[in-house]
């Protein structure tokens, strides 16, 4: 059981208070509203990625696209809650048809991605922020296979190629930068633990030089976001 893994609650993470501003997710961090990491990534998507998404919607139709998206989001939410139950030892059960599928996915992520690899847990489902710039919530952080790491769980409708999940890696870098800045850690490793609805498991790792490259990618996305919105005064030099 993952609750046998050492917990080290050495950091005080802020409460998660979310709100929408112009239909974009923000976090209220000690009275300051900051755009979420996913908001920034969405707003700075490449033209190629936007065109690809539009093409897919046109192919399957808006109604089917919305259902696929909503089902995936619901399944992912349940999967995350069940994994969090494993992590905290509190448990979480969902006996609906979707819940049973998500439960198998969660068990697979735990057994193949966390059991025997998670050495120490600092926090689960925690809010992170970089003062004055952005905030977000990561699934798990701590010591993974001997390294300070950020870990995110992802559900998918089908297996992914590494080159398809560039934004996931950028997301990990964003969380690590925030954690390193606020808590003086040295996170240089990010882990994506992914499972499809058919229970196909994938593990993706970025670290060291590659991780630093994603940190620079993230800074460019932050710069683009603030320069393209009403926050021009925050454009990076």
pLDDT in tens, 3-23: 467 899 999 999 888 888 888
**Residue 89 confidence (pLDDT) above 90:** no
**Residue 67 confidence (pLDDT) above 90:** no
3-state secondary structure of 72: helix
DSSP tag of 225:
H
- Residue 191 Cα to chain centre, angstroms: 10
Q: Please give the average per-residue pLDDT across 224-237, as a whole number.
A: 66
If pLDDT is split at 50, 70 and 90, which confidence band does 1 have? very low
**Please, what is the average pLDDT of the chain?**
88
Q: Please give the average per-residue pLDDT across 224-230, as a whole number.
A: 80
Higher pLDDT, 11 or 229: 11
Sign of CA dihedral 178, 179, 180, 183: positive
CATH of 2-230, one of 3.30.200, 3.30.457, 1.10.10, 3.90.320: 3.90.320
DSSP tag of 2:
G
If pLDDT is split at 50, 70 and 90, which confidence band does 57 have? confident
H helix intervals, 5-96: 37-43, 47-60, 62-88
Rounded to 10°, the helix 166-183/208-228 angle is: 90
Please report the DSSP string for 195-222 in residue order.
EETT--EEEEEEEHHHHHHHHHHHHHHH
Q: Please give the average per-residue pLDDT across 173-201, as a whole number.
A: 97
């Amino acid at each position: 059981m993952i609750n046998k893994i050492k917990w080290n609650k050495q950091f005080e993470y802020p409460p998660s208070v979310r709100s929408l501003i112009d239909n974009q997710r923000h976090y209220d961090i000690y009275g300051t509203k900051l755009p979420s990491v996913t908001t920034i990534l969405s707003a700075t998507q490449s033209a190629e990625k936007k065109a690809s998404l539009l093409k897919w919607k046109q192919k399957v139709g808006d109604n089917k696209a919305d259902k696929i998206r909503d089902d995936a989001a619901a399944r992912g939410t349940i999967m995350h809650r069940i994994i969090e139950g494993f992590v905290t030892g509190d448990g979480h059960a969902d006996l609906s048809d979707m819940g049973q599928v998500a439960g198998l996915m969660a068990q697979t992520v735990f057994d193949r991605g966390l059991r025997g690899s998670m050495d120490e847990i600092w926090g689960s489902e925690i809010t992170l922020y970089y003062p004055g710039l952005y905030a977000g919530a990561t699934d798990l952080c701590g010591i993974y296979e001997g390294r300070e790491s950020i870990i995110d769980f992802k559900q998918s409708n089908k297996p992914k190629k590494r080159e398809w999940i560039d934004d996931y890696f950028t997301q990990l870098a964003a969380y690590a930068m925030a954690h390193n800045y606020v808590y003086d850690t040295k996170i240089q490793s990010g882990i994506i633990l992914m499972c499809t609805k058919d229970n196909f498991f994938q593990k993706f790792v970025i670290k060291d030089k590659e991780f630093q490259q994603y940190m620079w990618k993230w800074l460019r996305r932050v710069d683009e976001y603030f320069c393209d919105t009403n926050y021009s005064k925050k454009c990076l030099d």
